[in-house]
Structure 1
Amino acid sequence: MVAVPRTQMVISMRLTQERAHHLIAELEQTAWQRLSCGDGAHGPRLYDWASVDIRPLREPGAGHWLLARRSISNPGDLAYYICFADERTHMEELVRVAGSRWAVEECFQAAKNETGLDHYQVRGYRAWYRHITLCMAASVFLVRLQQVAKKGGPLYIGH
């Protein structure tokens, strides 16, 4: 699953290239479902969700969807995702995966703030790979150190 802008071009089931927001705008109101994408600080994170099949030329058993998340309080606020999974995947599972992205994004934001993950200008793959590997290792160390400090026990990084 990858978040995309509203202007993202996708191949519709009509075998035409269309913008994400145009495909979603064609949906009937009944296509939207109110689902939680996980618990937040103030309880379930409820949004309205809809999906559209895309990419008709695909491997057997594979599913491709354009997933849209719409704010309940501000229906004009939409987010879009392109999803790839087993064709039997239900909307609830796509929504759950979309919701899990927040934890990953928070991790990367913390690594940017604490270890300089975003302080590298790409000049070569090896150097870039070493930089992010070191930053993420440092991030794991800092998280573990914070956990140990809360418990008051000895620092042990391992299984």
Structure 2
Amino acid sequence: MAGLLLFGGYEPSAQLIGNTLLALLQHPDQPDVLRADPSLLPRAAEEAIRDDGPVTPGPSRYALDDVEIGGTAIPKGSYVIVGVAAANRDPDQWADPDRFDLTRPDTTRRLGFGHGLHCRVGARPAALEAEIVLATALRRFPRLRLAVPAEQLRRRAGSVRGLVALPLRTD
């Protein structure tokens, strides 16, 4: 359990922090919302997990029977990868799903770290780490902003979604 928390929790947590900071800085009104109401910090982390979570593509499974999902036939024995990011953008579940919104209600329904028995053990520690970094950064650096245009940022390759680097300015 300790190994899972330490090693399985580091990379997703680090990338969640970067993704959350990027989302906030791309929505200039949102940092002021958090500064005015720090009680929204848990929602900020949960909304970032929903909006641009670090764990993708999601769990993989084998179909136990022939099934049809959304008009696509999946034969028994097929290897299937769940599109968690797509589920977190489902308009039947989320009002205006492509908008980053710190006031969005019930972001705990997101699937960015799994759900139920399949929820990753490090999900809450990762969100807590993001909350602590956000609170500290917003308090210590009131003029925090991107040092380069967002279009110049590059994403990492692999199963943990994040940035290669997040250059910031604090002056």
TM-score bracket, normalised by the shorter chain, equals under 0.3
Select the structure that is richer in helix: 2
- Per chain length, whose mean CA-contact separation is higher, i.e. which structure has more relative contact order (CA < 8 Å, sep 6+)? 2
TM-score, normalising length: structure 2:
0.25
TM-score, normalising length: structure 1:
0.27
Larger radius of gyration: 1
Select the structure that is richer in strand: 1
